[in-house]
Amino acid sequence: MLLAIDIGNSTIKFGIFSGSELIHKFSIPTVLDYDPDELMFERFRYVKERFIRIDTVVASSVVPSIEPVLTGACKEFLNVTPVFVTNVVDLGLTIKYDPPESLGTDRLVSGFSAAETHGKPVVVCSFGTATTIDAISSNGEFLGGVIFPGVGTMSHSLQLKTSKLPLVQISKPDRVVGTSTESSIRSGIFHGHIGAAKYLIKSIAAEMKDEPKIVATGGYAKMMASELAVIEIVDENLLLNGLRMIHERIV
């Protein structure tokens, strides 16, 4: 069996594949000072006990400090050395980013996965700690994209950078006009994000001179897609499936 791991800024996601089927997944918060025992706490021990054998571990990471800890934990608990996907692996995409090695592996893997699963051209909207919107052309070129703070990051930034504004959990508000400080923040962040994403998706598609499919992924994808009619597909497992396909490609 294959274990795919997506190490993000806020969450570490684990997916277990039997062939091409995702049979189990779970996640834990990203904590920079994990040690191997904490990283592989009860949920990961469950993996060892429940599944016959993890033969391979493939990972994507945007948090380099966790990579040695994960490597040690995989060796200790699974007797497997993880393979980390880099942004120089040949995925059949022409990287137009400058320089190419500065492209985050999460964006590369998601773009590859969207192109393989949903076809080209495609625009990939990832709503997480950061919101990224990336373009892959009909010729298989990773053209680049945009990066801006995710809804949770916006909320945390307001609380950190002001003396009186509270931290607000962002959800879809019932109305635009807020009637309290909390509801005003919630509405501003939610509807502001919707407006920004709508404009950027439209502008990116226009620059591509194509009619791309619009795919959303990430922790806030369903919430955002509920107000973004332009989004055609919500694929919650886009990156995990991309790691599986990359493993199949390079083995």
Question: Which pLDDT score is estimated for 8?
Answer: 92
Are the CB atoms for 158 and 181 separated by under 8 Å?
Answer: no
Question: Which pLDDT score is estimated for 104?
Answer: 93
Task: Tell me whether domains 2-84 and 94-244 share a fold.
Answer: yes
Catalytic residue from among 37, 55, 98, 106 = 106
* CATH 3.30.420.40 given to domain 2-84: yes
Lowest mean pLDDT among 42-56, 77-91, 94-108, 146-160: 42-56
Taking residues 171-191, report their average pLDDT: 96
The pLDDT of residue 93 is above 90: yes
Rounded distance between C-alpha atoms, residue 162 and residue 192, angstroms? 19
For the chain, the domains span 2-84, 94-244
Is 55 labeled as catalytic in the residue annotation? no
Task: Please name the residues in contact with 3: beta carbons below 8 A apart, sequence gap of 6 or more.
Answer: 14, 15, 16, 17, 47, 54, 56, 57, 58, 78, 80
Where residue 143 falls among pLDDT bands split at 50, 70, 90? Answer: very high
What does the mean pLDDT of the chain come to? 91
Question: Which pLDDT score is estimated for 42?
Answer: 58
Task: Write the pLDDT tens digit of every residue in 206-239.
Answer: 999 889 999 999 999 999 999 999 999 999 999 9
Question: Which pLDDT score is estimated for 92?
Answer: 92
Taking residues 128-135, report their average pLDDT: 97
The pLDDT of residue 249 is above 60: yes
Question: Which pLDDT score is estimated for 117?
Answer: 97
> Please, what is the Cα angle at 128 between 125 and 129, to 5 degrees?
135
Task: Write the pLDDT tens digit of every residue in 37-87.
Answer: 665 555 666 666 776 688 999 999 999 988 988 888 888 888 899 999 998
Are the CB atoms for 232 and 215 separated by under 8 Å?
Answer: yes
Q: Which of 67, 178, 216, 177 is nearest to 168 (CA)?
A: 178
Question: Which pLDDT score is estimated for 46?
Answer: 66
Are the CB atoms for 76 and 100 separated by under 8 Å?
Answer: no
The pLDDT of residue 32 is above 80: no
Task: Please name the residues in contact with 109: beta carbons below 8 A apart, sequence gap of 6 or more.
Answer: 60, 85, 239, 242, 243, 246
Question: Which pLDDT score is estimated for 74?
Answer: 86
Ramachandran category for residue 96: left, alpha or beta (phi over 0 → left; psi -120 to 50 → alpha): alpha
What is the CATH code for 94-244? 3.30.420.40
